[in-house]
Amino acid sequence: MLLTPIEIKDAVLMALNSIMANKLRAALTILGVMVGVSSVIALASIIDGLAKAVDREINNLGSNVLYVTRFSPDVHFERMTDEMRNRKPITVGEALAIRENCPSVDGVAPQDYIRVPGGNQVKYRNRKFTDATVFGTWPDYVRVRNREIAQGRFLSDVDEQFRLMNCVLGWEVANTLFGDESAVGQEVRVNGHKFTVVGVLEQVKSNFGNDQQNRVVAMPLSTFLKLYPQEKELMLLV
């Protein structure tokens, strides 16, 4: 049943009279509605921000990247089965086989890491950066990991082929050692070995305190294996 204009007018007047007669109750009701709406909007904004932050972290890692390792990261040596202990290390040849025989693979980046007692150290003149993540890899690394170059270039096929003593620094390493000065072309010592800096990686911004990607030093994998022949535990990024 539809209300007539007069009935609508009377209803509005009754509502206004009720509000005027109970000003405090009306004010509290309006305040409660405003607080409720504001809370919902704020919560939605927080959830949206967290979702974007998670997406950004996934993109930093590579949303379409497979990590191939000899063992699961959570496996402890004393808990390994005989089958696990008998697994052969991943080789450079296997990385080459994937790159050459898998047309659906856009890039392959084998990685091998070194950690010396006391932490990896990078020196430039009287400045030093301690506890860097030092690894060897292939030129495909920047494409596979979706990384950008802030200065210079990344490692090349020539660097890899001739085992050149060239390296690329993470943003935090370069900023600590060189500040506003360009790092490209400068000589640094990585765990005592002399390297020429050919590039600096763009800063990775993280909402979860994961700044390790800014603390890296990348060198050609062939150079890495020449300097650290005992380190043969490759991981493949595909």
CA distance 155 to 137: 9
pLDDT at 14 over 90: no
Q: Judge whether 172 and 222 are in contact, CB under 8 Å.
A: no
CA distance 233 to 111: 9
Residue with tokens 């690894």: 135
For the chain, the structural domain boundaries read 5-61, 67-237
Residue with tokens 């994998």: 221
pLDDT score recorded for residue 33: 75
pLDDT score recorded for residue 21: 65
Question: What pTM does this model have?
Answer: 0.75
pLDDT score recorded for residue 34: 79
Look at residues 171, 177, 94 and name the one whose alpha carbon lies nearest to residue 129.
Answer: 177
List, for residues 172-209, the tens digit of each pLDDT value: 999 999 999 999 999 999 999 999 999 999 999 876 55
pLDDT at 13 over 80: no
Quick one: how far is CA 136 from the chain centroid? 18
Look at residues 45, 17, 58, 22 and name the one whose alpha carbon lies nearest to residue 145.
Answer: 58
